[in-house]
């Protein structure tokens, strides 16, 4: 299924959707958003890519294997819980650091956890979507 209009539009929409998904991810702590929904938006971007260019191209666009996304995501989640052990608190105690990052806000372990969720959701959704698309 080749459509020049759709492909051209996707070229513009895809980066926008990825940027937007990251925006949703980081505004999540105090406002609606977060890792899960951000990951879904990101996956929707890749899904658009699949429809426009096919699974092979989408695979290249993702750069790493989908399982790697999943594994890194899970590692980040686990790691964000372990940080508190270094500080001598119980597992998963939230650690806040006073460093302010422009746009994103205060740095803390919840952001790491959410990033982990984001990556894992992208990985899993893409595994599901690609197996469906390839059938």
Partner 1 sequence: MLFLPILIPFAAGILGIFFWYKPNLQRWTTLIGMVALLIVSVMIFNTVWADGIQVAQGGSWVAPIGISLVIDLLSAILLLTAAILGTAVAVYSFGAIGDQRAAYGYFPLLCFLLMGICGAFITGDMFNLYVWFEVMLISSFVLLALGGERNQLEGALKYMTINLIASMIFLIGLGILYSVVGTLNMADIAKSLPDVQNQGMVLPMAMLFMTAFGIKAAMFPLYFWLPASYHTPPPVISAIFAGLLTKVGIYTLTRAFTLMFILHVEFTHTLLLVMSGFTMFFGVLGAVAQNEIRRILSFHSISQIGYMMMGLGLYSVMGLAGAIIYMVHHSLVKANLFLISGVIEHMTGTDSLKKIGGYYKNYPFLAILFALSAFALAGIPPLSGFWAKFAVVRAGLELESLWIVGVALVVGLLTTFSMTKIWAKGFWKPTPEKYAHLVDASARGPVSMIAPIIGLVVITLAMGIFFEPIYTVAEVAAEQLLDPSAYISAVNPQDFTALGGHE
Name the residues that contact partner 1, by CB under 8 A. 65, 67-68, 70-71, 74-75, 78, 81-82, 84, 89-94
* Least distance CB 21 / partner 1 (angstroms): 22
39/81 with CB nearer partner 1: 81
Task: Give the nearer residue to partner 1 in terms of CB position, either 60 or 65.
Answer: 65
Q: How far is the CB of 57 from partner 1 (least distance, A)?
A: 22
Of 34, 26, 40, 53, which is closest to residue 107 (Cα–Cα)?
A: 26
Contact assessment for residue 117 and residue 77, using Cβ atoms and an 8 Å cutoff? yes
Work out how close the CB of 12 gets to partner 1 at its nearest, in angstroms, rounded to a whole number. Answer: 34
**Nearer to partner 1 (CB atom), residue 34 or residue 81:** 81
Nearer to partner 1, 55 or 84 (CB): 84
DSSP of 5-73, one letter per residue? Answer: HHHHHHHHHHHHHHHHHHHHHHTTTTSS--HHHHHHHHHHHHHHHHHHH-HHHHHHHH-S-HHHHHHHH
* Residue 127: Cβ-neighbour burial (10 angstroms; 0-12, 13-18, 19+): middle
Residue 88 falls in which region: left (phi positive, over 0), alpha (psi -120 to 50) or beta = left
Closest approach of Cβ 127 to partner 1, in Å?
11
């Amino acid at each position: 299924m080749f459509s020049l209009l759709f492909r051209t539009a996707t070229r513009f929409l895809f980066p926008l959707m990825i940027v937007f998904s990251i925006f949703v991810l980081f505004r999540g702590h105090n406002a609606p958003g977060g890792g899960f929904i951000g990951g879904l938006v990101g996956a929707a971007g890749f899904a658009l890519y699949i429809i426009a260019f096919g699974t092979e191209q989408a695979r290249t666009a993702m750069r790493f294997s989908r399982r790697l996304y999943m594994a890194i995501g899970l590692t980040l989640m686990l790691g964000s819980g372990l940080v508190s052990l270094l500080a001598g608190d119980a597992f998963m105690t939230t650690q806040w650091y006073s460093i302010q990052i422009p746009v994103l806000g205060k740095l803390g372990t919840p952001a790491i956890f959410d990033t982990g969720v984001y990556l894992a959701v992208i990985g899993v959704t893409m595994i599901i979507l690609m197996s469906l698309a390839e059938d």
